[in-house]
Structure 1
Amino acid sequence: MLRLILILFLCGLLASCQYQRPEDARVQIQEIEGQARFTIDGQVHEIKGLAGHTHLQEAHSIGANTIRTYDTTGLQSILDSAHHFGLKVVAGIWLPKSHVPWLYKNEEQRVKLSKELAVLGRKYRDHPALLSWCLGNELIFYDLMDFDFSSTYNRLLDSLRSGDPEHPVGTAFANYGHKAILNFALKIRSLDYLIINTFGRLPKLSEDMNDLDFLWSKPFLIGEFGENGPWETEWTKWGAPLEPSSSQKAEITGRRFKELPREHPNFLGALFFNWGWRHEQTDTWFNVFSKDGERSALYYALAKQYGDSPVPEIPKIKNLKIDHGTNANDFWFESNQWHEAQLEIPESLNQDSLEIRWSIRTEDWFFLKADSPPPLPDLIEYASDRQKIRFKTPGKAGPFRLYVSIHDRSGHFAAANLPFYVVQ
C-alpha cells in the first residue's frame, strides 16, 4: 500500500509539471468574466458546434461555427472548406485504445508516430480554420499501473506541441468516467482542456465533475451529445434497443440543449452528434442526414438552436405500429406468418407529395459498421394506402427490424423502426 501511495504521489508530481502555452499563441483558453472561453487572436469564439465534417455549407446555413473530425484523413481539404464557410475545426488525431500493444509497447512505432505528429503540427499550425486538437477519442485508460500508455501519450503530446504551440490540445472521454479521468489527472501532464462525449448522462455531468474537482479541474468541451445511444436506451427482452422516431429525436434535442451545463465556469461549449450520416446500430440512430443527404427534423431543431431559422413543412411521424400495437416486447412471431404494420402521420401533410418506403432487415448486433444489413426481399405487400402494409415474417428464427421512412420532394425525410423476433 505504501508503495502504491508513493507511486501515485510521484505521478501527481509529474502531472503537476504543467506545460505553459506561449502567451502570444493565436488560440487560447482564457477565463473571461468568470467563464472559460476559446479566444482567437484575442476575440472570444463562442462555440455553436457539430460533431462531424460533412455538409459544411449546411452547417454554415444553420448558424453553426465549429465542427469536429475524428482523424486526419483529408484534413487539408476539410480545413480549407471549413475556412471557406467560416467554420473552425476541432481536429481529431486517431490513437488506438490504451491497452493496444502495437503502439504503446513498441518503441519503433512510438518514435515513428512522435515524428509524424511533430510534422502534422508544423503543417497545420498556421491554418486559419484550426481551433484545437483532440489527441485520441475515448482511449479507455483505466489501468492505474499502465505506464506504457501514459509515457507514450506524454511523448506524443510533447511532439505535437513541438510542431504546433499555437493551438490547445485535449483528449476525449466517454462520459466523465472517474477511472480514466483519475489516471489522466495523475499521469498525463499538461492537457489544455477535456472533451467529454456524453448522451444519457448529460444531466448528471456537473455532478460527476464535482466529485473530482479537488484533483483536476480543467476547461471542458462537450464533444458529443444528443439522443441516448443504443447502449443506454430501453431494450427489448432479447436485447434489441428501441430507437425513437426522427420526429421524437427533434423534440429530445431541444431538451438536451437545455441540459447543457452553461453555468459551469469551465464549460467551453458543445458539439451535437452526429452531423452527417453513419451506421450505428441502425441507419438513422444519430444522423441528421440520410445516406442520400436528405435532412431530418433534427436539422431544423439545430437550426433553431444556432440560428433561430424557420421550420418548413417537413415529413413527420406520429406513430408506427405492428398489428395495432407499439410494445416491441409483444412482437414474438412465428416464422412465415403474415402481420400488419401501420404508419401514422399528421393529417396536415400532403400525402400526394410523399414517398413512403418500407423494409425488413436482420437485427444488427454490431454498433459500428460501414452499412446496415440489406433489406430482405419478398416479405412486404403494399396496399393502395402506403401507410399500411402486410408483411411476412422471415423463414428463419432470430431478431429482425421493420423500417419505414417518408420522403418529400424538397430533400427531407422522417424515419422510424420497430424490432421483432421470429421463433420456430
Structure 2
Amino acid sequence: MSKFRHSLLYSVASVAIAFFVFWFGCSSKPTGLDKYVAQNRKVEVVKQKDGRFILYRNGKPYFIKGAAGYDHYNRIAAYGGNSVRVWHTDDAKRILDEAHKNGLTVTLGLWMQREREGFNYYDKDLVAQQREELKQIVLKYKDHPALLMWGVGNELYAEGSNVKVWDAINGIAEMIHEVDPDHPTTTTVMNVPKKIVNLIAERCPALDVLSINSFAGLHNLHDELAKTDWEGPYVVSEFGGRGYWESYLTWWDAPIEQTSSEKAEFTRKFYNEIILKDTAQCLGSYVFMWGKKQETTPTWFSMMDGNGDETEMVHVMQELWSGKKPLNQAPYIAYVKLNHQYAFDQIYLRPEQTYLGAAYTFDPEQDSLQLHWEVLPEIKSEDGNVGNEVTPDPLPELLSNIKDEKLILKTPKKEGAYRLYLYVRDGNKNLATANVPFYVMNY
C-alpha cells in the first residue's frame, strides 16, 4: 500500500471516528446536571451560570405559586396564584381545561400502583403494563396548554423498601422524555429521607425535579437536603399546618389539631423563612389543601368547607402570592375548652354526664359571628389508607343549651374517643375552625 493511500485511509478513518463520537455524544441522554442545559422547550429547568436553577415556561422564568386540590381554581388565579397540583388523572381533562380557563398551569400526577394494594414491582410484565397505560395518558394530555410538569408517583416509598420502585419510576420518566420532551418530570417524597433521596439520585437520572411534601418538617428542609446526593432543583409540593403524624398526642393517641388561625401563621412562617429563602434550588410550592378533605378530621387540611367558605390560610396565601390582604378577614378562635380543660390537659369524661363547653372568638371587622358546634366520634384508618376515610355522622343529641360561645355536652353511653368541633362564620364567606379531643370512660 502506498504512503498516499495509507494516509488517505487514516484520514477518512479519523474523520469517521470523530463524527461517530460527536454524533453519539449529541444523541445520548444527558446525565447528572447536564440535563439542565437550555434547549428551548415549552417548559424546562435551566441551571444558571451562578448555580441557580430556574423553571422556564415559554421562554420566561416561572416561579410556582400554587395550591394542591381539585376545585375553586378561579380563586387561585384571583388571589395571585399561578398553578395547581393533582396526584391522579381521574378527572384530568376538566382539571386542565379549568386551569387553562383561569390562566393556571398544572402539575399532573400519574398515579402509580402501590405494593400494599397488591402490585409487585419485581414483576416485569406488570411494570411494563403500567408504563404503557401511563404512556397513553401522557400522549393524550402532553399538548394541553395548561400542562406544566408530570408527577410520577406519589410517596411510593412509604409502601415498602423495594428499590425496584425507583427503577419503575425512572422507566416512566424516560418514556415521558421520549414522547413529550417539552415537560419536566418529578416524583414526590414525604420530607427528605436521606436513604430514599439518595436512591432517587442514583436510580432515577431521568427525573428533572424532586417534589417534597413537608409540613412541620419544613423547618430543617435546607439542612436535610444538603446531606443527600440530590443536587438538582425541587418543589415543595405540599405544605401547610402541622401534620397529624407530627402533632402532640393525647394519652389515647389522638393528635391535637391546630386552630385554623394557628395553621395560617404556621404556613406564613414557613413560606417566608424556608420556601422563599432558597433561591438556588427551590422552584416554588403548592399549599395543601385547596378545598375540603377528610383526613383524620374533616378540618385538618381543609382550607375551605363544603360551601367554599374560606379559612385564614386562604387569606394568608392571597397575601403571600399577591401582596394584598383580603378586604374582609376570617374570624379567629382563641381557644376551645371542655370541662374547663384544654386539649393538652388530656380530657377524660364519664359516660352519660353533662359538661360545659366554651370558646373565645372574635372578628377583625367586628362582624356578627355565627357559631356551630358538633361532636364526632374519632376515626382511624385501620388499613392506613387515609384516602378512603369518610367523615362520621355528627351526634347532635349530645349538645344542648347552646348560647354562642357556651353549651352543655352530655357524653354518650358508649366509651371511646370523640371530638368537640367549633365552626365560626362571619356572614362574608369566611370561616374559623377548632376542635378538642376527649375520651369517654368509666374511671
The number of aligned residues is 406
CA distance in 1 between partners of 2:33 and 2:358 (Å): 60
Please, which runs of 5 or more residues in structure 2 have no aligned partner?
A: 1-28
Higher RCO structure (Cα 8 Å, ≥6 apart):
1
Deviation at 1:96, TM superposition (A): 2.5
Of residues 281, 284, 300, the one that matches 1:266 is: 281
Deviation at 1:241, TM superposition (A): 0.7
Distance 1:18 1:115, change over 3 A: farther
Distance 1:177 1:78, change over 3 A: same
Distance 1:208 1:102, change over 3 A: same
Task: Mark the structure with the bigger radius of gyration.
Answer: 2
Deviation at 1:65, TM superposition (A): 0.3
Deviation at 1:368, TM superposition (A): 4.2
The answer to whether the aligner puts 1:222 opposite 2:239 as a matched pair is no
TM-score where L is the length of structure 2 = 0.85
Deviation at 1:36, TM superposition (A): 1.3
1:398 partner letter? G
Distance 1:314 1:397, change over 3 A: same
Distance 1:143 1:400, change over 3 A: closer
Alignment of 1:17-416 (within 5 A): 20=35, 23-32=39-48, 34-97=51-114, 102-140=119-157, 146=162, 148-212=164-228, 215-261=229-275, 262-311=277-326, 312-346=328-362, 350=366, 353-366=368-381, 367-383=386-402, 385-416=403-434
CA RMSD in angstroms comes to 2.4
Deviation at 1:348, TM superposition (A): 6.2
SS of structure 2 residue aligned to 1:194: strand
Deviation at 1:141, TM superposition (A): 6.8
The more displaced of 387-396 and 242-251 is: 242-251
Deviation at 1:162, TM superposition (A): 2.5
Q: Percent identity?
A: 29
CA distance in 2 between partners of 1:232 and 1:281 (Å): 13
Distance 1:120 1:18, change over 3 A: farther
Deviation at 1:206, TM superposition (A): 0.7
1:216 partner letter? W
CA distance in 1 between partners of 2:235 and 2:160 (Å): 24
SS of structure 2 residue aligned to 1:314: coil
Deviation at 1:236, TM superposition (A): 0.9
Q: For residues 64-88 of structure 1, what are the alpha-carbon distances to aligned partners after superposition, in whole Å with 9 as ceiling and x for unaligned? A: 0011011011111111111111111
- The answer (yes or no) to whether the contact 1:120–1:163 under 8 Å persists in 2 is no
Q: For residues 301-343 of structure 1, what are the alpha-carbon distances to aligned partners after superposition, in whole Å with 9 as ceiling and x for unaligned? A: 1111011223314322121111232144341111111000112
TM-score where L is the length of structure 1 = 0.89
2:336 partner letter? L
Deviation at 1:355, TM superposition (A): 2.3
CA distance in 2 between partners of 1:65 and 1:109 (Å): 37
Please, which runs of 5 or more residues in structure 1 have no aligned partner?
A: 1-13
